[in-house]
Amino acid sequence: MIIDSNKKSLLIKRWNSFFNSDISIDEDISDSTTLFNKFLDLYNNEKNFEYLENACICIKNGQKLDLYSAENNKIIFNEIGVNTRKKFRKYINRFDYVITNFELSKDLIEDCVKSSSNKMFLRYEILHSMYCGDKSNYICDNVPFSGDNPTAYLTKNFIDQIKKDTNSLSFYQYSSYLLNHFENGIIIDDIVIKPRVSVSDYGRWYWGGKDKLQNNKELQNNIIEKILKNGDKYVSVDLVSASSSMLAKITKSKILKALVASRIKNSEDSTYSSNLKELLNIFVHGNEDPNNLSYYMKKKFDLDYISKVGKFNIDTVLRKLYEELQDYNSNIIDTYKSSLVYKELKRRIVNPDAIISNDKDIIKKHRIYLQGHVHDNIILLTKYVYNNTGILPLYTVHDCVNFYISKNQDYDLFINTVKNASKEIKLPYRIEEY
């Protein structure tokens, strides 16, 4: 958020009240994210933290690896080249918790685990997204660190916290394993899928790299053709109206659930299905009040047609839906303004701007994290499949995950497992078999 001097002063005053501190910042800072990180740095300097000696953080920084660990409760910083593999292997072998922002090869992980079965490999991007969701490393009340200080994850408070929550820790471990799996690369005949996956603050995974697979339909089709040519199977699992379905699940909204069900029921009517999908996305992510939304919808959509096919008055239904979500919205707004943080499903979401933001903007920003909740459920689906079949996904495309099943694997078991996994996450889905 761009801020003027008045908003800067107000933010610092409110943060001081929340953290029970007396921080002052004289620098000319016009961005609230930069200001919050500066505030956390100054606040952090006044505190003492206990660091564990059995954990390290390894951050890839250009052609260097920045290595952080602790000895005698002091942070030890080392720097080595990205290609010094033996030195790196020797370094991480000393620790039980190894946190990186880059992929580790399967062989390296297996070799390290042989030396100690207690070793745990986690991705920094996963932890940061799950605990912060913003540009800071304010990962809990006892660990308020700035975004450029990854040593937050070496604190005893943090490690103790993840050890207590075994379900979440299992999720972080599998997510990290899956991220390493994707980035280590998959080869199908002469096609090499080796992306650089970026995990957004709000939790969605984006595939980068040379081929940009997520947006490359031609490459996706080539992969499918190669798989089918070899007599193997390709399966796509798509979560339908994912953000809307997720919001309905979180809020237990019967109206929103019914609208998604109507879209699925009338999916053969492409005009109705696509219009209702876009309309729901505008409602969910725009957080417009009914009057503004109605005006916009009438300009963009044929509401009479939507009402006719769906057998309801869409204008009236959306007004009722807006009212239905008000208690949920109010709780989010009040919680952010009183604590800067909202905990929802697996995520702890930080919004330090909320204390000077209007209600509409708070909800609009919060709704972005629906995409992260959706992706968490995609990961849970693949975890269930992997645990029961040993099959990992080939790649993801936002709200869709794609699998390659070789002719030597039990295809019927795989399909039944996917269906069971989809029931477990309690979101509507569509399976496309090739």
* CA atoms within a 13 Å half-sphere pointing along the CA-CB vector of 52: 19
Class assignment of domain 206-250+344-349+358-434? alpha beta
Q: Phi/psi zone of residue 426: left (φ > 0), alpha (ψ -120 to 50 degrees), beta?
A: left
Can you read off the two tokens belonging to residue 128?
Answer: 């940061």
pLDDT bucket at 112, cuts 50 / 70 / 90: confident
Instruction: Decide if pLDDT at 348 tops 80.
Output: yes
Q: Mean of the pLDDT values across residues 31-50?
A: 95
Q: Which single residue is written with the structure tokens 């989010």?
A: 332
Query: For residue 120, what are the contacts with CB-CB under 8 A and spacing of at least 6?
Result: 96, 97, 98, 173
> How does 233-262 read in b/e, with b if 16+ C-beta sit within 10 Å?
bbbbbbbbbbbbbbbbbebebebbbebbeb
Range name among 80-89, 204-213, 388-397 with the lowest pLDDT average: 204-213
Q: What is the pLDDT of residue 192?
A: 86
Q: What is the pLDDT of residue 328?
A: 97
Q: What is the pLDDT of residue 288?
A: 80
Element (H, E) at 296: helix 290-300
Query: For residue 375, what are the contacts with CB-CB under 8 A and spacing of at least 6?
Result: 203, 204, 205, 396, 399
Q: What is the pLDDT of residue 191?
A: 82
| Strands of 24-123, DSSP E | 55-61, 64-71, 74-81, 97-100, 120-123
Mean of pLDDT over the chain: 94
Q: Mean of the pLDDT values across residues 59-78?
A: 97
Instruction: Decide if pLDDT at 410 tops 90.
Output: yes
Q: What is the pLDDT of residue 209?
A: 80
Q: What is the pLDDT of residue 5?
A: 94
Q: What is the pLDDT of residue 213?
A: 87
Reduced to 3 states, what is the DSSP secondary structure of residue 335?
A: helix
State the CB neighbour count (10 A cutoff) for residue 117: 7
Give which of 131, 152, 135, 158 is closest to 43, Cα–Cα. Answer: 152
Can you read off the two tokens belonging to residue 211?
Answer: 């081929």
Q: What is the pLDDT of residue 287?
A: 81
Residue 206 to residue 213: CA distance in whole angstroms: 10
Instruction: Decide if pLDDT at 294 tops 90.
Output: no
Sorted by where each begins, the domain ranges of the chain are: 5-45, 55-178, 206-250+344-349+358-434, 254-324
Reduced to 3 states, what is the DSSP secondary structure of residue 98?
A: strand
Q: Mean of the pLDDT values across residues 336-363?
A: 96
pLDDT bucket at 301, cuts 50 / 70 / 90: confident
Q: What is the pLDDT of residue 58?
A: 98
pLDDT bucket at 314, cuts 50 / 70 / 90: confident
Q: Mean of the pLDDT values across residues 232-261?
A: 96
Residue 422 to residue 12: CA distance in whole angstroms: 45
Element (H, E) at 347: strand 347-350
Give me Rg for the CA atoms of the chain: 24
What confidence tens digit (pLDDT) does each residue in 122-152 have?
999 999 999 999 999 999 989 999 999 999 9
Query: For residue 297, what are the contacts with CB-CB under 8 A and spacing of at least 6?
Result: 279, 282, 303, 314, 315, 318
Instruction: Decide if pLDDT at 315 tops 90.
Output: no
Q: Mean of the pLDDT values across residues 310-329?
A: 93
Q: What percent of the chain has pLDDT over 70?
A: 99
Q: Mean of the pLDDT values across residues 103-115?
A: 83
Q: How far is CA 386 from the centre of its chain?
A: 20
Instruction: Decide if pLDDT at 411 tops 90.
Output: yes
Q: Mean of the pLDDT values across residues 223-248?
A: 95
Q: Mean of the pLDDT values across residues 231-246?
A: 96
- Angle among Cα 144, 147, 151 to the nearest 5 degrees reads 65
